[in-house]
Structure 1
Amino acid sequence: MSIYSGRSSTRSKPDADTFEKEEQSTYDDNYGAVEEPPETPALGSPFRGMEKEELLRHSSKPFWWRLRVMCISVVLLGWLALLITVVALVLIYPRCRDQDMRSWWQNETIYRVYVPSFSDSDGDGIGDLKGVESHLDHIRNIGAHTVSLSPIYKFDHDVDSDFNIIDHMTIEKSYGNMSDFESLLKAVHERGMHLVLDFIPNHTSDKHQWFINSSTSSDRDNDYRNFYLWTDIPTNWRSVYDNSSWTNSSQRNQNYLHQFLPSQPDLNLRSSQVQEKLEDILRFWLSKGVDGFYIRNSGYMFEDYDLRDEKKSGDTNSTDTTEYSYYDHIMTYGLPEVYDMLSRWRTLVEEYSNTTERILMADVRGGLDKVMPYYGHYDRDGVHIALNEVFLPEHDICGAPCVRKYITDWLSQLPDHQWANWVIGADDSDRLGSRFNESYIRAFLMTVLLVPGTPIIYYGDEILMTNTDISSEPWEREQSMRGLMQWENTTDGGFCSAGSCTKPPWLPSDGKFRTNNVKDNIKSAESVINYLRNLTTLRRELTFLVGEFTTAITDDSIFSYVREFDGLTGYLVIINFSHEEQTRDYYTSHGSIEKAATVELTTGNDVSYYPEDDIDTRSITLGGYQGIVVSWDYVAKEL
């Protein structure tokens, strides 16, 4: 039976496991179900708020709806403004840059050694490999960590040239033996240095077994028949020594090509057999552990396939009256096949670049249009370093505009991701000390050692050795830039490291070592050798290795530039290439230069500033042929 009341009724459950508890219901007098009136809360109990339906009804009113829309709009607009601000800052603010990864050959200074003139260890009058090894610490101490050797292979002594190679895989006996070479290579690597060998692929000696086999008249079908270039009818081609490029072989009764001496027949690099032989030579030395090769006379490796005559040169302003200059040599120099061969050798050396990178260098004759393709052609990699020899012919003082053109032309025309180099001296050019005075040399060294690129110095440049007078000697070829290294003020200038030479040195000693030698020069803080050491030390600062290069003030007297990189010390290098005193305001010449700077290095020739001096970049005065390097702490650029 149900009990009716004004509040509720409850139905009892006969079995709790079978029936669920029924919800309470309220009925009116007509037995209809009605809503239960809300219970009046007891005094002091918490107010439970509006029911869901009532809350929804109030929130749907226009006032509250508009208020919600306004709040949501404010939040969305705020987020949108924040997003726009972040994007704008990312686009406008200078981006943080990653430092370029540099290889050892980009970070180091290369020291070029002419082996027979460097140091004689056994007193026979000829420099040798042991002599080079005995002076590795000297090379490293002046800041050069890569040694480049002149040819060390077995050659024909009857000819005045170490390019007359008889065997590319045998050490010339007057320089030592293979054990001496391996000892030198080990000593180089133990000092954290690198060793580069000359590679001469254009020609061999006429006493090389390849040529002997090729010129055998009784067997013109032998495997070596096409190792060299032969013809029945010579062309008008001239050698670099101004004689005909063709010489008749009585054995073969044909003419063979030689772009240099008659005793240096040109190899036929179009022959696959020759290419394989040359690759065998590279692999032989790479397996020994050498760090790279300097490819000599690379532009002469290929000649016109059809052996067509050269055309007359169109250069009417040339002062060279030799017959060689009479032709333009487009049939014998710089043919496109050269670039393909360099690319092939680049691939080969990279096979051996597992633990350390092996490099290729190559010399190039001509202007920048001849040099730049050496870095790569038709999207194929070429050499790592195409030697920059543009400055070597200079003898007159090259002023600020000349130096600016020399530097900026090279850097601006360099292909992307390639590396410049600056050849300061070479074994086929007049010595730096014979071309310029010391003040100018100091200014020039500061310029090229601190711009981007690898500097290459020639043995003896550190003491400003000059050409040796050999006018009275019966040398077939010019050797004046290959004089004996002047180590100390002793007999023969210390060239014979074991004491006096038991045999006369292969070149005469001109006695200049008595006043100019390594041992005495290194004792003077103001000497060029110590100045060079300071430059190579500064060059190894991270800013100079990876930093950007930007010219500052450049005019008829001043060449200056900035080296900088995000987060690193900034540097301003200033060189006065005139003989008169010059004062300039450098603060306004480039955006990152600070007013207050610190002197890092000077050329040392009576400059009125000293290292660690504070200096105001708004007014810096330099005397004739003086230079200075100043630095400042990195300051982030403001928006």
Structure 2
Amino acid sequence: MNELPENSNNSGGNDLETLDYLRGVKSSTCLLLPTTPSPTPLDFKHPLSEEMGDRPFLTLNDEPNMVNLQTDASAGDSSSSGDSSSVVQDPVSAQLINNISMLDYQTLSKNGDLIMGQTEDCKLNGNHNVNGRKLPSFVNWNWSVIRKVLLWIVLSGLIACLGAIIGMVITIPKECNPDLPWYQGKVFYEVFPASFKDSNNDGMGDLKGLLKKLDYIQDLGASAIRLNYIYQAQKYPEQYYNITSLVQIDRSVGVLKDFRDLINEVHNRNMSLILDLPVVSMAKPDSSSNFTQAVLISNETITNFVDPTSAAIIFWSSEKVDGFYLKDLEQFVDDISFPRTLQMWKQAMGYDKILIASESAYEKAKGGALNVLLSRVDLIDVHLDLHEGISGLKNRIDNVIKGSLWAKPHYPWVHWNIGSIHNERIATKHVNNTLVLTALELVLPGTVSIFYGDEIGLAGLGDIEGDFHEHKDVNNVVSMSFSNEKNTAVILPWNSNSEREPSYHFLEVIKMFTKVRLETPTIYLRSIYKEGNNLKNMEIRKTEENLFVIERWYPRRNTCVFVGNLGSKSITTDLSTMFYGGTVLAGTNSSLVGQVLYFEKITFPPNSAIILKLEK
């Protein structure tokens, strides 16, 4: 009997030990998958087996417990046997593993039972223990429903976020314009009530008639109405300035209920109402202690506590008036009580209401009086006219804009006007210039006031009948005319006929210019605030041959240019050295609106005006 080499015996012994070890290893029977297929046995064949006939190798029979060792008589020395045993070691071990796996590998069925050698502690039924461990309760949850609910929650959240984003995009304003107080940059409409609209056919305008014409005023673009004089007078309206009470309405124009109806409707339209208030007195020396008490008492006894002007401010403020034009204030700027009185008036009114003063009061105030006026007055009234021609108009505007009112951001804004109860109407002497001058006024920085009738070129009165020519401002308070009410005009005690027929076609042009102004920050803003400084945003570029050219600009906005021909002849000029061209926003010739005009050899008809938006 042949003996195996020493190395071969050692190798065979090692293989048997490996077989015994593998048989003692128990495969895992708690698998995650319900069924696990057994691996297919591998049939290993060493590629050098035919050349190793004289070398020992291991084979496995079908029986798992049988291992045969075969040797060849012509086996080599021990060193070669050792080498061959190391070569066949891998396939033998692999085949041993396959056979053991086929016998001892255990799997689970769908109901949790073991296949091939069941073990009781490995059954997965309900909450049975697996190797002594209890399954978590969430294993039995209805995960199908949970997944659907979570899906709907996620989708709902995404839809809600998408809706919120769309809503934000829709509500984002197209333009972010500076937020200003209600009186800055707006358009006011000045009215003498007795000449405006008659509601009861007594031949005189009244508050009820004004109430009926609020649509007309609002369509014009005005956001505030300024009433000239409504107070009880000795002989109203021809002597409206001889006032007997500042807290009583003259019955010729209505009663307090009519006033309340008017102001309530004005506020319902998001408009404001301002009263002209003649200043006849300063506060009494001992009025400080009585001022608060005076605010709470009725108008019959209010004058027992304070002076007449203070009493009127307290009373009309309680009637929801939005501000006062302090007439004749310049006569009191040197009064020692002026600073304290102005502060008390502003406090009694409330700081959301405004005070307007004339340019004369501003020019006459000095020192402490000027400081108080600049801090308590909100608008300074400045009148424009053509008495000194187009060059005089240019100098007037330049002096105001370059003056001290533009020095600080908190100083009063300018309240421009080309007509008022105390000034001659433009149309009286300057034929057809009312339209161009009103359009020019509407492109100036600040707040603009339109005197009733200027929007239709209403001229002043001609010859006054009787003794009325001696009365103050009678020529300017001509009866208002409406295009659809020619036969129902106000008939005042004096001659109510204007020197010329109204130009009703002016109205649509003024509406167009007003609309552009209110929608264009470049125009209605008075200056540029930068690092605490007030920088101008306007320049008069040309005033030759009755041509008036104004440029307006503002950061990150389109520059606007106004060109007006105040003469009676057409003017052809070349402005291409200053501007290239732009889109017409408004003009006396409405057919040009929306068109692009170029400034090289451009012709402007007489009494015409346009506003253009230059390309950036």
**Shared fold (TM-score greater than 0.5)?**
yes
Cα deviation code 1:49-91 (max 9, x no counterpart): xxxxxxxxxxxxxxxxxxxxxxxxxxxxxxxxxxxxxxxxxxx
8 Å CA contact retained: 1:431, 1:481: yes
Is 2:551 the partner of 1:473?
A: no
Match of 1:406 in 2: 396
CA shift at 1:167, angstroms?
A: 2.3
CA shift at 1:453, angstroms?
A: 1.6
Is 2:346 the partner of 1:352?
A: no
Match of 2:202 in 1: 124
Q: 1:291 aligns with which of 317, 322, 326?
A: 322
Q: 2:522 aligns with which of 540, 543, 549?
A: 543
Q: 1:516 aligns with which of 502, 508, 529?
A: 502
CA shift at 1:588, angstroms?
A: 3.9
Is 2:422 the partner of 1:443?
A: no
Aligned-partner SS, 2:392? helix
8 Å CA contact retained: 1:342, 1:383: no
Aligned-partner SS, 1:123? coil
CA pair 631-364 structure 1, distance change in 2 beyond 3 A: closer
Match of 1:309 in 2: none
Aligned-partner SS, 2:216? helix
Alpha-carbon distance in structure 2 between the residues aligned to 1:570 and 1:375:
38
Alpha-carbon distance in structure 2 between the residues aligned to 1:148 and 1:402:
28
Is 2:455 the partner of 1:458?
A: no
Q: 1:162 aligns with which of 227, 232, 240?
A: 240
Alpha-carbon distance in structure 2 between the residues aligned to 1:370 and 1:141:
38
Match of 1:420 in 2: 414
Cα deviation code 1:434-469 (max 9, x no counterpart): 02111x333222221111021111111111111223
Q: Match for 1:434: what amino acid?
A: T
Q: Match for 1:113: what amino acid?
A: V
Q: Give the number of the structure with larger relative contact order, counting CA–CA contacts within 8 Å between residues 6 or more apart.
A: 1
Is 2:579 the partner of 1:600?
A: no
Please give the TM-score of this superposition, normalised by the length of structure 1. 0.57
Match of 1:49 in 2: none
Is 2:387 the partner of 1:387?
A: no
8 Å CA contact retained: 2:522, 2:557: yes
Q: Match for 2:428: what amino acid?
A: S
Is 2:506 the partner of 1:528?
A: yes
Is 2:557 the partner of 1:572?
A: no
8 Å CA contact retained: 1:339, 1:376: no
8 Å CA contact retained: 2:322, 2:354: yes
CA pair 611-485 structure 1, distance change in 2 beyond 3 A: same
CA pair 615-339 structure 1, distance change in 2 beyond 3 A: farther
Alpha-carbon distance in structure 2 between the residues aligned to 1:183 and 1:199:
20
Match of 1:627 in 2: 609
Cα deviation code 1:582-627 (max 9, x no counterpart): 44444543xxx5x3421222233xx9x8111222234433244433
Match of 1:280 in 2: 311
Q: Match for 2:516: what amino acid?
A: L
8 Å CA contact retained: 1:376, 1:383: no
Alpha-carbon distance in structure 1 between the residues aligned to 2:489 and 2:222:
21
Q: Match for 1:610: what amino acid?
A: L
Match of 1:335 in 2: 334
Cα deviation code 1:257-311 (max 9, x no counterpart): xxxxxxxxxxxxxxx988555323212211211110111122223xxxxxxxxxx
Is the radius of gyration larger for structure 1 or structure 2? 2
Q: Match for 1:568: what amino acid?
A: R
Alpha-carbon distance in structure 2 between the residues aligned to 1:579 and 1:201:
42
RMSD: 3.4
Alpha-carbon distance in structure 2 between the residues aligned to 1:429 and 1:282:
25
Alpha-carbon distance in structure 1 between the residues aligned to 2:467 and 2:399:
41
Alpha-carbon distance in structure 2 between the residues aligned to 1:462 and 1:473:
29
8 Å CA contact retained: 1:424, 1:457: yes
CA shift at 1:553, angstroms?
A: 2.8
Query: 1:298-313 maps to which residues of 2 (within 5 A)?
Result: 298-301=329-332
CA pair 159-621 structure 1, distance change in 2 beyond 3 A: closer
Match of 1:220 in 2: none
Alpha-carbon distance in structure 2 between the residues aligned to 1:379 and 1:128:
34
CA pair 337-622 structure 1, distance change in 2 beyond 3 A: farther
Alpha-carbon distance in structure 2 between the residues aligned to 1:547 and 1:295:
23
CA shift at 1:341, angstroms?
A: 5.6
Match of 2:541 in 1: 553
8 Å CA contact retained: 2:435, 2:455: no
CA shift at 1:372, angstroms?
A: 9.6
Match of 1:219 in 2: none
Aligned-partner SS, 2:355? strand
8 Å CA contact retained: 1:483, 1:507: no
CA pair 371-158 structure 1, distance change in 2 beyond 3 A: same
Alpha-carbon distance in structure 1 between the residues aligned to 2:438 and 2:448:
9
Give the unaligned 5+ runs of structure 1: 1-97, 205-222, 225-271, 302-333, 497-503, 522-526
CA pair 342-385 structure 1, distance change in 2 beyond 3 A: farther
Q: 1:115 aligns with which of 193, 203, 209?
A: 193
CA pair 339-626 structure 1, distance change in 2 beyond 3 A: farther
Alpha-carbon distance in structure 2 between the residues aligned to 1:564 and 1:579:
29
CA pair 107-365 structure 1, distance change in 2 beyond 3 A: closer
Alpha-carbon distance in structure 2 between the residues aligned to 1:624 and 1:446:
14
CA pair 565-578 structure 1, distance change in 2 beyond 3 A: same
Alpha-carbon distance in structure 2 between the residues aligned to 1:490 and 1:628:
30
Match of 2:106 in 1: none
Aligned-partner SS, 2:541? strand
CA shift at 1:109, angstroms?
A: 1.0
Query: 1:173-212 maps to which residues of 2 (within 5 A)?
Result: 173-202=251-280
8 Å CA contact retained: 1:298, 1:364: no
